[in-house]
A and B are shown apart, each in its own frame.
Chain A
Amino acid sequence: MKHGRYPFIIGFLIVPVAIYGTFVIAAYVQAFQLSFTNWRGFSPDVSYIGFDNFVKLFQDSTFWKAIQHHILLLIFLPLLTIILALFFAFLLNVGGGSKGGRTRGVWGSKFYRVVFFFPQLLALALVAVIFSRVYSSDDSGLINGLLNQVGAGPVLFLADKNLALWSILAVLVWQAVGFYVVLFSAGMGSIPTEIYEAAALDGATRGTLFFKVTLPLLWNTLQVAWVYLGIAAFDAFALVNVMSVDRGGPDGATTVLGLEIYRNAFDYAQFGYASAMGVVLFFLTITFAALTLRVTRRDAIEL
């Protein structure tokens, strides 16, 4: 077995590693390099300006605004998505009570399972366009068309500073829930039914079943979901770019780091500055992932 093992492994890995090295590692190194320059993107020569980009960045109010939005997303995107997904997954798998020794979902759960997954199948750009129509501020908007009928509209979902980010957050949650329903369903499926049966025999209600049985046994899956969603909260570029008023508006109320990087690089031709933002985003994401892994570390319950 030992003989020829390394050529075998290398043979498998060489292509992906080469691709990863070129398109990820090399690009990273270059982003770090560019963040110390004032490169404007139109000539092959670059000049180094030390930490100027970073000094400027920390005085940039738009940057801090974007950070605030990430913090808000970081709290609410995982929280709302996980709560909703857990609720739905519980209903789909356990919510129907047990019959003949098997736990079941609510009536029609097979159908719902498919429906919940639909948003995941749509490209993010499509989701953004669809919701632009849903939120549209005049009669052509799905929601405002109805609200205007009863004289309650229009609600400026995307154009109101206080509503815009929440409206986009709602779309992010809508899009993500389906995937986590499936993830949690799989997790719940691996919980032995005997545990539920035993609990049910002891007279546990559905609520007790959920909090005392399902949730603790699902902890590892939750942890995965939290990190995934946290990283999604550091992105949100596509939705904001397509949906928001005046790209990241109104008045910067929905802007995110991804969008600011894009804007500085491709609109203002400040590639050096944009790279500095990218470097900051890199460290933010790494810090978040490391923190989450540390804080949520818990011994897995052996089944």
Chain B
Amino acid sequence: MTEIFKPEVDRRTLLRRAAAVGLLATPAVTMLSACVGGGSDDKDAAADKPAGTVSATNPLGIKEDEPLEILIFNGGLGTKYATDVDIPSYNKLFPNSKVTFNQAEEISTVVQPRFTAGNPPDMINNSGSKLMDQGALVQAGQVQELTDLFAAPSVDIAGKTVKDTLIPGTIEQGTFNDKPYVLNYAFTVFGLWYSGKLFKDNGWTVPTTWSDFTALLDKMKAKGITPFGYAGANAPYYMYTLLLTSAAKIGGADILKNIDNLEDGAWTNDAVKQAAAAWAEIGAKYSNKAFLGLKHTEVQLQQNQYKVGLYPSGSWLENEQAKDTPAGFDYQLMPVPSVTTADKLPVTALYAAAGEQYFVASKGKNPRGGMEFLRHMLSKAGAVGFTQLTKTLTVVAGATDGMEISAGLTSGNKALGAAGADTFSFRFDTWYKKLDDELRAATNELIYQGGTADKFVTRMQKAADAVKKDSSIQKFSR
């Protein structure tokens, strides 16, 4: 007994155990990512060929009794559109193919181990804050090419292929090195959102020039409203999209293309610098530094309480805020005012892009079925159902034209019509997540922490050059 309770021995053992506790942190990574080298890699060759008989109702040639597994991200858009609209549509044509529906809030946590193990779901909605790196998935050969899907006839728009029914640019948005791999289904327009009621009550009008814009912000300030703001804690993304929208308006849409393609000097360009300087001034004069510590929902709530005038966001905002928005708030979208009088693009030009990624796993059990499911999402009925349930437009052109769904949606749709061909977007944020992170930090510094345009562009150029030089990151171009 005396041996065991000798205090010196006991304490030193305790210390060693304490050290062991600390070491537990490291293996956690490999545990979470499951075992590597465990899966088999022998059935990808069949993925590109139809498994069943091709016919008019089965253009992709799926095997009619093969079950299908889909996984939907449960976030702002919910999952009702899949369970109530798309699955019934799919099963109407293929009643013998049993659809297994799963949903997840953390996509990578649920799906990534299944990719390494070699049994992924057939169709996956890769979205949310825990989305998987889509570029890395394509690089690993896990994603089914969608060329056949886009060439197939539409389910319910007679005489057109799926490709013909889409808003131009949709397929390109999901293209990786010239091949379509991902369907970006939701169509979002991006700009400054305001309350139609607030504007009407105060007799304010939508500004188009920068001097009108600052005059409006002055009026808001005089009323005791914070004229402009975004949430620095988790949503600087909204701010930098706004800033790059201004840059594209000043210097043309190619500014964004150069940034995406990691061109030399893409960031130190004059247009980016001018946009950064303009927004830095707005941030310093018309915003509230305390927002740097807030989350997006907190700032959005303040706007619903009429404490914030203008808020940069995409068209998902109205749906996201639905339960906090007071009656009569009337969400409206304004395109970003022109910074200079010599802007290359008109004031109506918009950041608009297909987003919300859906892809088919090439090494799943039923890749053709996954593609067929996407075809049903892209039917007119599928698109209308989605828009009604989520108040978000889809990439199916004009599917909901003439339907009154909500104020914000109508406003966004109108802005899109006014923009015509002058819509643009960037993709570097999904291609190079590191660059996205750097830009978030740089944007916070620029707007809320007294940064300057020069510092901002030099910092971003340096980050872009570093990504370009890093051989471990696969490069994309458009």
With an 8 A cutoff between CB atoms, is B2 at the interface? Answer: no
With an 8 A cutoff between CB atoms, is B137 at the interface? Answer: yes
> What CA separation (Å) do A263 and B116 show in the bound complex?
19
Name the interface size band of chain B. 35 or more
Choice from A138, A156, A281 contacting B26 with Cβ under 8 Å: A281
> Given that A31-B30, A44-B41, A137-B292 are contacting pairs, would A246 and B140 also be in contact in the complex, using a CB cutoff of 8 Å?
no
Q: Which residues of A contact B133 (CB under 8 A)?
A: 40, 267-269
Name the interface size band of chain A. 35 or more
With an 8 A cutoff between CB atoms, is A78 at the interface? Answer: no
Shortest CB distance B317–A (Å): 20
The B-contacting residues of A in range 212-236, CB under 8 angstroms, are: 220, 223-224, 227-228, 231-232, 234-235
Contact indicator B140/A42 (Cβ below 8 Å): yes
Q: Which residues of A contact B136 (CB under 8 A)?
A: 40-42, 269
The A-contacting residues of B in range 206-250, CB under 8 angstroms, are: 232-234, 236
B13-34 interface code vs A (CB 8 A; 1 in, 0 out): 0111011011111111111110
> What CA separation (Å) do A44 and B28 show in the bound complex?
19
The B-contacting residues of A in range 148-166, CB under 8 angstroms, are: 154, 156-159, 161
Contact indicator A234/B25 (Cβ below 8 Å): yes
Shortest CB distance B261–A (Å): 20
Q: Which residues of A contact B472 (CB under 8 A)?
A: 38, 52, 56, 270, 273
Q: Which residues of B contact A44 (CB under 8 A)?
A: 36-41, 116-118
- List the B residue with the shortest CB-CB distance to A23: B31
Contact indicator A235/B39 (Cβ below 8 Å): no
> What CA separation (Å) do A90 and B436 show in the bound complex?
51
Contact indicator A27/B7 (Cβ below 8 Å): no
With an 8 A cutoff between CB atoms, is A249 at the interface? Answer: yes
With an 8 A cutoff between CB atoms, is A279 at the interface? Answer: yes
Choice from A41, A137, A144 contacting B291 with Cβ under 8 Å: A137
> Given that A249-B441, A293-B12 are contacting pairs, would A275 and B30 also be in contact in the complex, using a CB cutoff of 8 Å?
yes
> What CA separation (Å) do A64 and B16 show in the bound complex?
27
Contact indicator B22/A156 (Cβ below 8 Å): no
> What CA separation (Å) do A12 and B18 show in the bound complex?
22
Contact indicator A235/B25 (Cβ below 8 Å): yes
Interface residues of B (CB under 8 A from A): 7-8, 11-12, 14-16, 18-19, 21-33, 35-41, 108, 112, 115-118, 130, 132-133, 136-137, 139-142, 232-234, 236, 288-294, 298, 433-434, 437, 440-442, 444-445, 448-449, 472
Q: Which 9 A-B pairs have the closest CB atoms?
A: A27-B27, A137-B293, A231-B22, A289-B19, A42-B140, A159-B293, A269-B133, A159-B292, A269-B136
Question: 10 other contacts beyond A246-B444, A269-B133, with CB at 8 A cut-off?
Answer: A41-B136, A42-B116, A43-B116, A46-B36, A154-B289, A156-B290, A245-B233, A251-B445, A269-B132, A300-B7
Interface residues of A (CB under 8 A from B): 23-24, 26-28, 30-31, 34, 38-46, 52, 56, 135-138, 140, 144, 154, 156-159, 161, 220, 223-224, 227-228, 231-232, 234-235, 237, 245-247, 249-252, 258, 261-263, 265-271, 273-275, 278-279, 281-282, 285-286, 289, 292-293, 300
